[in-house]
Structure 1
Amino acid sequence: MHARFTNYSRMCQRCQQENEYEMHCLFFCNTSRQVWFGSPLGIRVHELSLDITTTITQIMGAMDEEGNSLFANTLWELWKERNKTVIEHLPFKPQDVLQRVKTLGVYNQANVVAVQQRANERMVHEKYEFDAQGWQVVMDGSWDTSNLAGGAYVVYNKGCVHSTGLFAFQVQDPFHAEAMTMKEAVNYMYVNLNLPRATRIQFFSDCLNLVEAVNQRENTDLPSWRAKHVVTDLIKQLEERNEGMTVHHVQREAVSQAHGLANVARRRRLTYQGAPHMALNQEVRISTGLDEQFFQRVQEAPP
């Protein structure tokens, strides 16, 4: 926010004592310390590293699965409470954070078996019926901790690669990168290619949260509040083009081509749209392995 609006203060709006960076936000701020003090995890905040990645790695490496779940839920609920204070100007309530963590833990424990069963059934029974004359779009986003991101999509028509898109941008979390990639892919198909509304287009992503949010028309509980407006646009587009547009979840290996292209776009700050075999340079073609074997990969990698 400070980078976008110079009159926006870097100071933590909860304690007004220090600039708000990751470790301060989640651990060192007095309000966050109150949460950890009341948590059963026994984390000593004053002994933590100043690096967020090191801190999370060390804490999760020292706990079992139940402890890791409690730790992750606490971070998530603490972040949401922080947003209420900063964005909605509501008082920060550590006791509410701890109560929600406790409730969420009970919910997770009670539903974990049912969730796993539904996931297994979906992996076994869901099949994709490809339209030989239709379109398929495989997409993936790439993000790193410096907030650089890349997105890519590979467009298939009648079983062959039709075109490829790469683009570089800046976002602050990986889910936002995935959402932006899907938005770019959808815009390319309906704006650049100008396909009729009834044209059948299947979009494939390995980001399950994004696929479920778009298909369920639900944008209230996303992993990233920054991506909310992007998901809102995607939901609107799906509703407008419901005759032909469908969104599906697949495993990582099914989007390996798009994943490689997204990494190239992020590392090289590269933006490109066109036919991959005609215009992409040889180095990029080799490094991403565009081999037109998408259909086989999807069938081998169920959702």
Structure 2
Amino acid sequence: MESVAHCLLFCSVARAVWHGSPLSLRVSEFPSSSFADFFDAMCTELGKEQLELLCILSWRTWSSRNEAHWNGRRAHPQQIIEGGVNYLMNYQRAQQSMGRGSGVVQMHGETKWKPPDEQTIKINVDGAVAEQRRVFGMGAVARDHCGEVLATMACQGRDVAAAEIVEACSIRRAMQWAQELNLGRIIIETDCASIVTALSNNVALNSDLGNVLSDCKLLMSSFLHCRVKHVRRTGNAVAHELAKRALRAEGDEFFRNEMPDYLAPFVSRDKLSM
């Protein structure tokens, strides 16, 4: 009879799942043969979001084993990993839509705008959708450690309706814009927690969203420093206004060393909260 530890840790499928997942665990190096001991150890070593993924991957590995045993259907380890990452993203998205916390990314998201360090530029990003017109807006604002606006961007895209893809496209365009501004050290902030989760995972998703995220990861590697963080909507108001403006504008709008007048109240509010 197969043990729980063999099914979830030491069989070839389980070992491939743990090593190939964003957790990058080599379970063969773990000293105990008990899954309970393994889980206890992980509770002290991993963050909350990583533990969520560990639980989901354990469940999916167990389900895959049952499918193989009872129905003869064997899943490739990469399918188990992708399914687990997608499940976590969908869960976080559902929790956001219901106004609830969604794990460590949502819980740790800042409620107000905070400045970066002196060597770094923070770029807040947001997307907006006009479904009937089949257009979407991408807004971004670059600010320094004093909260001063260095540049703003309001761009329009077409033929995308899915909110997550719009958010990912907005981040991709903001990174391209940061390259155009010759910025070396940047922090990207978005209020879409599931995209932050996806960009922190080294899993290729075979979808339109996955293609955009792959572009983002490639762009991230081109900077001296680039980090993507979650911020709640209250800390992303300036980018949100720019995204809404992009839906109404006749063309793309870029400002450098100045900002549109309609942003002044939102920028001032962020400065007061510093």
> What's the TM-score bracket when you normalise by the shorter of the two chains?
0.5 to 0.7
Detail structure 1 runs of 4+ shifted over 6 Å in the superposition.
none
Q: 1:255 to 1:219 in 2, by over 3 A?
A: farther
Counterpart pick for 2:149 among 154, 161, 166: 161
Alignment of 1:141 onto 2:127: yes
Counterpart pick for 1:289 among 254, 265, 268: 265
Aligned to 1:177: 166
Measured in 2, the distance between the counterparts of 1:117 and 1:204 equals: 17
Root mean square deviation, CA, Å: 3.2
Measured in 2, the distance between the counterparts of 1:186 and 1:168 equals: 15
* 1:260–1:288 Cα contact (<8 Å) kept: no
**Partner SS state of residue 132, structure 1:** coil
Shift of 1:163: 0.6
What do the CA deviations read for 1:71-117 (whole angstroms, capped 9, x no partner)?
xxxxxxxxxxxxxxxxxxxxxxxxxxxxx9xxx8xxx8xxx9xx866
**Partner SS state of residue 202, structure 2:** coil
Q: 1:122 to 1:194 in 2, by over 3 A?
A: closer
Aligned to 2:238: 257
Q: How does 1:25-174 map to 2 (within 5 A)?
A: 118=104, 122=108, 130-146=116-132, 147-159=134-146, 160-170=148-158, 171-174=160-163
Measured in 1, the distance between the counterparts of 2:191 and 2:228 equals: 11
Give 1:216's aligned amino acid: N
Measured in 2, the distance between the counterparts of 1:295 and 1:287 equals: 12
* 1:217–1:235 Cα contact (<8 Å) kept: no
Aligned to 2:254: 273
What do the CA deviations read for 1:111-136 (whole angstroms, capped 9, x no partner)?
x9xx8664686359xx9783124211
Identity %: 20
Q: 1:287 to 1:130 in 2, by over 3 A?
A: closer
* 1:154–1:165 Cα contact (<8 Å) kept: yes
Shift of 1:238: 2.1
Shift of 1:177: 1.3
Give 1:206's aligned amino acid: D
- Flag structure 1 segments of 5+ consecutive residues without an equivalent: 1-99
Q: 1:136 to 1:120 in 2, by over 3 A?
A: closer
Measured in 1, the distance between the counterparts of 2:162 and 2:107 equals: 30
Shift of 1:167: 0.6
What do the CA deviations read for 1:140-193 (whole angstroms, capped 9, x no partner)?
000132221001100112421001001111112211211111111111112x11
Measured in 2, the distance between the counterparts of 1:188 and 1:119 equals: 25
Q: 1:208 to 1:218 in 2, by over 3 A?
A: farther
TM-score when normalising by structure 2: 0.54
Measured in 2, the distance between the counterparts of 1:267 and 1:200 equals: 31
Counterpart pick for 1:213 among 176, 198, 211: 198
Equivalenced residue count is 173
Shift of 1:211: 1.2
Q: 1:274 to 1:158 in 2, by over 3 A?
A: same
Q: How does 1:1-16 map to 2 (within 5 A)?
A: none
Relative CO higher for 1 or 2, CA cutoff 8 Å, sep ≥ 6? Answer: 2
Q: How does 1:12-23 map to 2 (within 5 A)?
A: none
TM-score when normalising by structure 1: 0.49
* 1:167–1:269 Cα contact (<8 Å) kept: no
